[in-house]
């Protein structure tokens, strides 16, 4: 099989779809794989995928992303997100492929009061965060110039089951909205993140850790207010809620604003403001297939 530019894991996920489309938009070739073709729990399947497709670069987006689910099944999370990533990094090193591993703001404990630089101390609060950190260590441990860890946060994109979609569904069905005020982060649109990941590879940024997120920071409450305003639903009241009231299995950092300056410097510009990203997302999401219900509407997989 002729080598491709990219092998994309988690290609059918929320970020994966945006990445596949951004790659096509740049006229490059990619093979996308999901859990059926390349299960992260199977070392042989990972080696076969990299060995068969011989990508120049693997964009590793696949992960167990249900934060509360990971808390209830930490071994499953460590196997997929930690060990699976370690096996993939080994295969990439063996076949001379670059590796971009998408990680998370949940590697931080949220005790900071200013944005987290790439070299800030990590202290994950949850099994999900710890499992993603294991993946980071496995990638960074190779010390390769063409291996990158890109931490991002509060991801949303067209067609995905995500926070803006849950807020809009609930507002449009007339259900009351109460949203968390005591967690602050940087919403990030899959389309903008996809561009940043491809830029990192194409510009061959120095190996190591980067932070990628849309410009601006807010609480989940502020995020909800911004989504409703952009959708012409600014009149819908949004009540306030403390995170502790949700009694979720997995703790989340109270403050996980990422300092993106290293990536901004490489690209010569920051990612767009998150309010601008919400507007573009709303335009595209209206055309995308409706996602499955997110249970209580706000208790979705990641946020
Ligand atoms: N969503 C966020 O807010 C957020 C924030 C920070 C970082 N991230 C990171 O960003 C990346 C992409 O997230 P996303 O929102 O696009 O997640 P997503 O929509 O849940 O997609 C994740 C994909 O991973 C694949 N996957 C799950 N378990 C797997 C396994 N055991 N073996 C192989 N593939 C498996 C799934 O493939 P199939 O569909 O084929 O089953 C799925 O499409 C993840 O690495 C996540 O940790 C996300």
Decide if 177 is inside a domain.
no
The distance of Cα 10 from the centroid of its chain, to the nearest Å, equals: 11
* Residue 15 Cα to ligand 1 middle (Å): 8
* CATH number where 40 lies: 3.40.50.720
Domain tally for the chain? Answer: 1
What is the chain's alpha carbon radius of gyration, rounded to the nearest angstrom?
Answer: 18
pLDDT at 205: 87
pLDDT in tens, 174-190: 999 999 999 999 999 99
Find residue 58's DSSP bridge partners. 7, 99
Ligand 1 pocket, 65 CB below 6 A? yes
Averaged pLDDT, 57-85:
98
What share of the chain has pLDDT > 90, as a percent? 90
Closest by CA to 22, choosing from 279, 198, 285, 148, is 198
Q: Is the pLDDT of residue 120 over 70?
A: yes
Q: Is the pLDDT of residue 303 over 60?
A: no
* Residue 235 Cα to ligand 1 middle (Å): 34
Ligand 1 pocket, 215 CB below 6 A? no
Domain hosting residue 129, numbered range: 6-161+189-215+256-273
pLDDT at 1: 75
pLDDT at 288: 59
Decide if 179 is inside a domain.
no
pLDDT at 159: 83
Decide if 132 is inside a domain.
yes
Ligand 1 atom at shortest distance from the alpha carbon of 161: 19
pLDDT at 291: 45
Ligand 1 atom at shortest distance from the alpha carbon of 132: 47
Ligand 1 atom at shortest distance from the alpha carbon of 11: 43
pLDDT in tens, 46-62: 999 999 999 999 999 99
Give strand ranges (E) for 48-176. Answer: 57-60, 98-104, 147-152, 155-156
Q: How far apart are CA 104 and CA 132, in angstroms?
A: 7
Q: What is the pTM of this model?
A: 0.95
> Is residue 101 within 8 Å of 139, Cβ to Cβ?
yes
Decide if 292 is inside a domain.
no
Q: Is the pLDDT of residue 133 over 80?
A: yes
Ligand 1 pocket, 193 CB below 6 A? no
Helix 190-203 with 274-285: angle, nearest 10 deg: 110
Q: How far apart are CA 155 and CA 173, in angstroms?
A: 24
pLDDT in tens, 252-301: 999 999 999 999 999 999 999 999 999 999 998 776 544 444 333 333 34
């Amino acid at each position: 099989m002729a080598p491709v530019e990219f092998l994309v894991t988690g290609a059918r996920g929320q970020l994966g779809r945006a990445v596949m489309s951004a790659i096509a938009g740049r006229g490059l070739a990619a093979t996308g794989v999901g859990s059926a073709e390349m299960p992260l729990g199977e070392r042989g399947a990972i080696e076969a995928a990299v060995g068969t497709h011989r990508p120049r670069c693997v964009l590793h987006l696949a992960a167990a992303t249900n934060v509360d689910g990971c808390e209830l099944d930490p071994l499953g999370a460590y196997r997929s997100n930690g060990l699976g990533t370690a096996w993939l990094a080994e295969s990439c090193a063996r076949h001379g492929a670059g590796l971009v591993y998408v990680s998370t703001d949940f590697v931080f404990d949220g005790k900071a009061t200013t944005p987290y630089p790439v070299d800030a101390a990590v202290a994950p609060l949850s099994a999900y965060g710890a499992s993603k950190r294991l993946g980071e260590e496995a990638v960074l441990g190779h010390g390769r110039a063409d291996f990158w860890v890109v931490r991002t946060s509060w991801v949303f994109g067209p067609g995905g089951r995500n926070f803006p979609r849950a807020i809009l569904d609930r507002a449009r069905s007339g259900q009351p909205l109460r949203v968390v005020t005591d967690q602050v982060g940087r919403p990030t649109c899959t389309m903008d993140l996809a561009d940043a990941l491809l830029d990192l590879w194409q510009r061959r940024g120095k190996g190591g850790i980067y932070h990628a997120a849309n410009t601006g920071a807010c609480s989940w409450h502020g995020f909800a207010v911004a989504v409703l305003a952009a959708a012409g639903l600014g009149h819908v009241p949004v009540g306030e809620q403390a995170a502790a009231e949700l009694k979720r299995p997995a703790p989340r950092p109270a403050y996980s604003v990422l300092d993106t300056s290293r990536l901004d410097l490489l690209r010569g510009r920051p990612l767009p403001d998150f309010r601008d990203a919400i507007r573009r997302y709303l335009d595209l999401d209206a055309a995308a297939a409706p996602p499955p219900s997110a249970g209580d509407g706000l208790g979705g997989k990641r946020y």
